[in-house]
Structure 1
Amino acid sequence: MSDGDTFAGFHVWLTENLRREDLDVETLARQANMSARNFSRVYKQKTGRSPAKALEVFRLEAARRLLEDSDRSICQIASACGFGDEERMRVTFQRHLAISPRDYRTRFSR
């Protein structure tokens, strides 16, 4: 199995498990059947992002979709996407998008 295949399957698993707050490099590496050190190195080499940054982006994208397409509360979305709480989600939105989740929903909800 090539690295691309490994990470394609891994990304599906990651998307399905975003809610888990216990996701760390060791857990992600186990899922990809690699040591943590090798996983971090190979993942960054193949994707251009560290595993931690990738996880943050996957969570951000999932939260964006839910803010646009659902009536769930921001607290529920933060939990569903594995942020743990609204504040952590807000900080992530500010860092990546320079907008709060509440303002994002107002601007982009359908």
Structure 2
Amino acid sequence: MARAAAVSPRHLTRLFHTELGTTPARWVEQVRLDHAQQLLLDGHRVTSAAHNSGFGTDETLRRAFDRHHGITPTAYRQRFTTTGILQAPAPMKPTTRRHTAGPESSPETT
């Protein structure tokens, strides 16, 4: 990352600390974790989420989840997939109010 930004590794670390309040390694892990979380919620298996988010192995992903959330990736998926389903908006019910036409919807104004 430092080479791509054309700065020294130490300067990159200072920039990350100043701008983001973290280290480059922690930032990369958080980006990967965010991606893995979304993959899990989209229905990917733990192995697939680990591989596609850059963690490489189930164990590496599990350790990152434990560090950041205190739960396993499988428990995360079960907990938040269920929450998402329960929090889905209810279907709209038909209204029984009668609509009265105002001047903007009157046939004479067209």
TM-score relative to the length of structure 1: 0.70
SS of match in other structure, 2:56 = coil
The RMSD of aligned alpha carbons is 1.1
Sequence identity (%) = 38
Structure ID, larger Rg? 2
The CA deviation at 1:66 is 0.9
Alignment of 1:66-81 (within 5 A): 66-69=39-42, 71-81=43-53
Question: 4+ residue stretches of structure 1 with deviation over 4 A?
Answer: none
Aligned partner of 1:32: which letter?
A
Question: Unpaired runs of 5+ in structure 1?
Answer: 1-27
Alignment of 1:40-55 (within 5 A): 40-55=13-28
- CA–CA distance in structure 1, aligned partners of residues 75 and 15 of structure 2: 37
Alignment of 1:15-94 (within 5 A): 28-69=1-42, 71-94=43-66
Aligned partner of 2:75: which letter?
D
Question: Unpaired runs of 5+ in structure 2?
Answer: 85-110
Question: Which has the larger share of helix?
Answer: 1
- CA–CA distance in structure 1, aligned partners of residues 68 and 26 of structure 2: 11
TM-score relative to the length of structure 2: 0.70
